[in-house]
């Protein structure tokens, strides 16, 4: 049983709080992604799980055992780093074999275990090469092979794809997802890339300033963000957020009017909607104004307006064309709108 629990975890360096009151219950075989901007506390959280950082307060439980005071080598955890961490003087085979030697696994088991890992990361043709003779993607696969050569209780992955180019990220991301589904090992994955989080995770933990902002499935995080931070961090492009007023269910802002919102809330409000949930229209739209930019994305065209101090984007069909400064209307169905408190950023539930 590889259930991992973090209870009331705090991490401080003097007066600076890196992680505050963090509580997580990670199920056996779950793929959990810690997502957030640089400095949000996600890597610190991972390092505390690994035993590379001490916990100021709280408990980390692996199964039923509190592991706060166990050194990293006694936690039965494998970690994949952003920097690969390969031994330059060792071949691919020996790099993958190294954890077995350290843990004094009987030598007669090494070859079978190493070859199993080599096959899983598709490195059969590179076993005798050294890291300097490999591409970035191949080096990352060696690091993955080294992590999976024995079946640990937990995998920890700290931004393992950030050194790869865009094409390699896509293929390696798919390989990580496939490996985890086959190995069925509890995995905690750290990234600042929301696409990685959405495509890999069973659940996503969105963090900011050392605190959890929302925990949920990728669908929950995307469709019902808990606050404006999550709304603006998840999605490409991010959710449009427009400050205005709502009275009697009608939202108004410069160049915008949306009627029929089912809420008793009145006064200042932030309205949000996803670019792909709206569309351009011929006339009488909920947003009207001069086009700020037109971007052909291949499968769609992105039309952007400047609305007050913000840019508002709508995706439409790939054949749509408009000129800069041309007056265009946008259709924003009331059922796709989200409301947030402009002071706290918290989500306002619609009736």
Average pLDDT over residues 134-151: 84
CATH class of 4-229: alpha beta
Cα 101 to chain centroid distance, Å, stands at 34
CA distance 301 to 117: 44
Q: For residues 276 and 146, which has the higher predicted lDDT (pLDDT)?
A: 276
Asked if 230 contacts 194 with a C-beta cutoff of 8 angstroms, the reply is: no
pLDDT at 87: 85
Average pLDDT estimate for 267-286: 93
Q: Of all helices (H) and strands (E), which one includes residue 176?
A: helix 166-183
pLDDT score of 189: 94
Enumerate residues 6+ apart whose C-beta is below 8 A from 97.
Answer: 110, 114, 149
The model's pLDDT over 71-104, given as tens digits with 9 standing for 90+, comes to 988 898 888 877 777 888 999 999 999 888 888 8
Q: CA 312 to CA 306: how far, in whole Å?
A: 6
Question: Would the pLDDT of 1 be above 70?
Answer: no
With bands split at pLDDT 50, 70 and 90, how would you rate the model's confidence at 240? Answer: very high
Share of the chain above pLDDT 70, in %: 99
Q: Are 44 and 200 in contact, with CB atoms under 8 Å apart?
A: no
Topology annotation, domain 243-348: OB fold (Dihydrolipoamide Acetyltransferase, E2P) (2.40.50)
Mean per-residue pLDDT, 176-189: 87
Higher-confidence residue of 341 and 153: namely 341
**Separate counts of helices (H) and strands (E) for the chain:** 8, 21
pLDDT at position 183 over 80: yes
pLDDT confidence bin for 273, thresholds 50/70/90:
very high
Residue 232: CB atoms within 10 Å = 16
Residue-level pLDDT at 266: 92
Torsion angle in degrees (nearest 10) through CA of 196, 199, 201, 206: 50
Average pLDDT in the chain: 91
Q: Is the pLDDT of residue 165 over 80?
A: no
For residue 155, pLDDT beyond 60: yes
pLDDT digits (tens, 9 = 90+) for 107-118: 988 988 899 888
Q: What are 91's two structure tokens?
A: 């071949």
pLDDT of 141 > 90? The answer is: no
% pLDDT > 90, the chain: 62
Q: Are 4-229 and 243-348 the same fold in CATH?
A: no
More confident of the two residues 286 and 120: 286
As a whole number, mean pLDDT of residues 194-216 equals 95
Tokens (6 digits) for 109: 């088991």
Least confident of 15-29, 53-67, 173-187: 173-187
Q: How far is residue 131's CA from residue 226's CA, in Å, rounded to a whole number?
A: 44
pLDDT in tens, 279-325: 998 888 899 989 999 999 999 999 999 887 788 999 999 999 999 99
* Average pLDDT value for residue range 134-140: 84
Q: What global pTM score does this model have?
A: 0.88
| DSSP SS3 for 182 | helix
The residue extents of the domains of the chain are: 4-229, 243-348
Closest CA to 207 of 347, 42, 348, 319: 42
pLDDT at 341: 96
Cβ(274)–Cβ(223) under 8 Å? Answer: no
From 52-56, 174-178, 242-246, 259-263, the region with the lowest mean pLDDT: 174-178
């Amino acid at each position: 049983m590889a259930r991992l629990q973090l209870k009331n975890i705090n991490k401080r360096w003097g007066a600076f709080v890196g992680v505050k009151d963090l509580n997580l219950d990670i199920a056996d075989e779950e793929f959990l992604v810690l997502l957030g901007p640089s400095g949000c506390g996600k890597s610190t959280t991972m390092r505390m799980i690994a035993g590379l950082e001490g916990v100021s307060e709280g408990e980390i439980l692996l199964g039923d055992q509190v592991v706060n005071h166990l050194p990293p080598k006694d936690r039965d955890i494998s970690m994949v780093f952003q920097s690969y961490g390969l031994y330059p003087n060792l071949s691919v085979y020996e790099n993958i074999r190294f954890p077995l030697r350290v843990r004094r696994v009987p030598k007669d088991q090494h070859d079978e275990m190493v070859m199993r890992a080599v096959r899983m990361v598709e490195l059969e043709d590179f076993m005798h090469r050294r890291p300097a003779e490999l591409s970035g993607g191949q080096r990352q696969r060696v690091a993955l092979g080294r992590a999976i050569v024995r079946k640990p209780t937990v995998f920890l992955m700290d931004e393992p794809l950030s050194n790869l180019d865009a094409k390699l990220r896509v293929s390696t991301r798919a390989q990580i997802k496939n490996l985890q589904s086959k190995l069925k090992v509890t995995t905690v994955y750290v990234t600042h890339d929301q696409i990685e989080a959405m495509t890999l995770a069973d659940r996503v933990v969105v963090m900011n300033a050392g605190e959890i902002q929302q925990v949920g499935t990728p669908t929950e995080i995307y469709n019902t963000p808990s606050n404006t931070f999550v709304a603006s961090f998840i999605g490409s492009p991010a959710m449009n957020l427009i400050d205005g007023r709502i009275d009697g269910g009608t939202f108004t802002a410069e160049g915008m009017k949306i009627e029929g919102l089912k809420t008793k809330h009145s006064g200042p409000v932030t309205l949000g909607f996803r670019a792909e949930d709206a569309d351009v229209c011929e006339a009488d739209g909920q947003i009207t104004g001069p086009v700020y930019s037109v971007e052909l994305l291949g499968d769609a065209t992105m039309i952007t307006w400047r609305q007050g101090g913000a840019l508002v984007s709508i995706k439409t069909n790939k054949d749509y064309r408009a000129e800069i400064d041309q007056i265009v209307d946008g259709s924003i169905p009331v059922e796709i709108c989200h409301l947030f408190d402009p002071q706290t950023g918290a989500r306002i539930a619609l009736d």
